[in-house]
Amino acid sequence: MAIKTGQDYIQSLKGRKLTVYLFGEQVQDPVEHPMIRPSINAVAETYDLAAREEDLASPMSKISGKRVNRFLHIAESANDLVLQNKMQRKLGQLTGTCFQRCVGMDALNSLHSTTFEIDEKHHTNYHKRLLAFIKKMQEENFVIGGAMTDVKGDRSKAPSEQADPDLFVHITKRTADGVYVTGAKAHQTGVINSHWMIIMPTIRLLEKDKDWGIVGAIPVDAPGITYIYGRQSCDTRSMEEGDIDAGNSQFAGQEAMVILDNVFIPNDLIFMNGEVEFAAMLVERFTCYHRRSYVCKTGLGDVLIGAAAAISDYNGIPDVSHIRDKLVEMTHLNESIFAAGISSSYQAQEMKSGVWLNDDMLANVCKHNVTRFPYEISRLAQDIAGGLVVTLPSEQDFRNTTTGPLLKKYLAGRKGTDVENRMRILRLIENMTLGRNAVGYLTESMHGAGSPQAQRIQIARQMQLGYKKNLAKNLANVKEDAEESKENSDYFKRVFKIPK
């Protein structure tokens, strides 16, 4: 039966035979583990939102002919991409963390156009296979994780040049029925909470890297997969009594390393197999979608701005001019992120396959803003909150019969403010800027979908300096002969390493 609600989703994760390690021990029941469960709750919210707000999160799909979760939908218009962004911001507001489904959504959409163009050149049938897979995912309403980031080893060498070939996921054996793959994927968001994962190349590949040019879908409980759960700051607080010190006890993100040891992928679930000239296309289209998907951080930003405003109320200074100005600055930065991302979606164009792809320049501007602005928003939130963000005593001290009354007396804020509520807001600010969900708000903002330099490279490739110089020269009535004009153009391409 297809998953409909968040509770159905949680139930679908029970009883699976996953090999998951955390703190050096195998986890017998990931669903009920106190450190893992908040991340499951965040994914469950994506189902409940889809049920509550169909127009936002449950579009009609041409592939299945049914309403589907937007995280499984292929964008059929620019408006579909805009609604993705609005849904992502809403979910950020509801959870205050990473809800873990954007990578899978962006993988499906980027593969839609890429498989179509591989088939066009090589007369393969990858696109047909992909459509069948998407239809199945939509009908069952599964969670898909996208596995792109390899562990990479020596970054100066191509996959086939590594001392250990397993440092990039690659094919170890080919059979008439499919292939076997070995390697590892790092920083995999929500992978243990997914039903399927799609493995993809992480970089441009050379002709000699054919065995690394593999894209395929794998059930997360397939034989040969081991998951090693990633640590996050203050993560063990979720295993303590009480819920104040966790900051956000309901929801959290999830990152894990995935080890693949001769994992089988059948032919009907392979969507690229050695067509290495299309690896860069896939990576670039995926990052185009995914860098604009980082408008999700504006939902988290809304929560943090709200927390900063709340603590200023509790401290009795909501109308002090410098506090108001800091809240204005936080809002300005947050909306600047959203503006670039949603503009990228509005500027989308239809691809040959029928999927719509957002504007790449604006997507990279969006993500580049994300590598900076959440850090400043966090700094301002800490500034407004004060030193208690990092010196607040524990909930156990607050509950203690000796120290509790002392804390209630000396942690009082504005008259009428409940001390426990003040502590809860302080812990939320700590959680989002220093603690567990700082991963979803800050570290992901820096490194997710590529490092800041990756965005700068894409921006340099598309900033059209030659065209813009001509605009200036035309207005200034500059006259150049053909040779000088060509020299200027060649210099621009050489300095900014623009491919021919």
Q: What does the pLDDT profile of the chain (500 residues) look like in tens digits? A: 699 999 999 999 999 999 999 999 999 999 999 999 999 999 999 999 999 999 999 999 999 999 999 999 999 999 999 999 999 999 999 999 999 999 999 999 999 999 999 999 999 999 999 999 999 999 999 999 999 999 999 999 999 999 999 999 999 999 999 999 999 999 999 999 999 999 999 999 999 999 999 999 999 999 999 999 999 999 999 999 999 999 999 999 999 999 999 999 999 999 999 999 999 999 999 999 999 999 999 999 999 999 999 999 999 999 999 999 999 999 999 999 999 999 999 999 999 999 999 999 999 999 999 999 999 999 999 999 999 999 999 999 999 999 999 999 999 999 999 999 999 999 999 999 999 999 999 999 999 988 899 999 999 999 999 889 888 999 999 988 776 666 566 655 655 555 54
Superfamily name and number for 6-288: Butyryl-CoA Dehydrogenase, subunit A, domain 2 (2.40.110.10)
pLDDT at 341: 98
Which candidate in 202, 296, 430, 433 is catalytic?
296
d(CA 4, CA 47): 7
Per annotation, catalytic residue among 33, 46, 114, 255? 255
Rounded Cα distance between 253 and 81, Å, is 23
The secondary structure of residue 75, as a DSSP letter, is P
**45 part of the active site:** no
> CA 437, 440, 446 angle in degrees (round to 5)?
130
- Start and end residues for every CATH 2.40.110.10 domain found in the chain: 6-288
Known catalytic residue at 189 = yes
Residue 147's contacts (CB-CB under 8 Å, 6 or more residues apart) are 169, 185, 188, 191, 197, 198, 199, 200, 258
pLDDT at 138: 98
Q: Of the residues 98, 126, 227, 287, which is catalytic? A: 98
CA nearest to 34, candidates 225, 252, 256, 258: 252
Which strand (E) or helix (H) includes residue 350? strand 349-350
- Which residue, chain included where needed, has tokens 């929801």? 251
260: left (phi over 0), alpha (psi -120 to 50) or beta: beta
Residue 21 a catalytic site member: no
State pTM to two decimals.
0.94
Catalytic, 226? Answer: no
Nearest-angstrom CA–CA distance, 106 and 341: 14
Find the catalytic residue in 112, 195, 290, 368.
290
pLDDT of the residue at 152: 96
User: Is 76 a known active-site residue?
Assistant: no
Query: Among residues 95, 97, 189, 202, which one is catalytic?
Result: 189
Determine the Cα–Cα distance for residues 220 and 70; give it in Å rounded to an integer. Answer: 21
- Catalytic residue at 290? yes
What does CATH list as the number for 292-458?
1.20.140.10
Catalytic, 366? Answer: no
User: Where along the chain do the CATH 1.20.140.10 domains lie?
Assistant: 292-458
117 is catalytic: no
Catalytic residue among 294, 366, 368, 430: 294
Contact 246, 283 (CB under 8 A): no
pLDDT of residue 480: 83
Please, what is the end-to-end C-alpha distance for the chain in angstroms? 52
Among candidate residues 45, 102, 275, 288, the one labeled active-site is 102
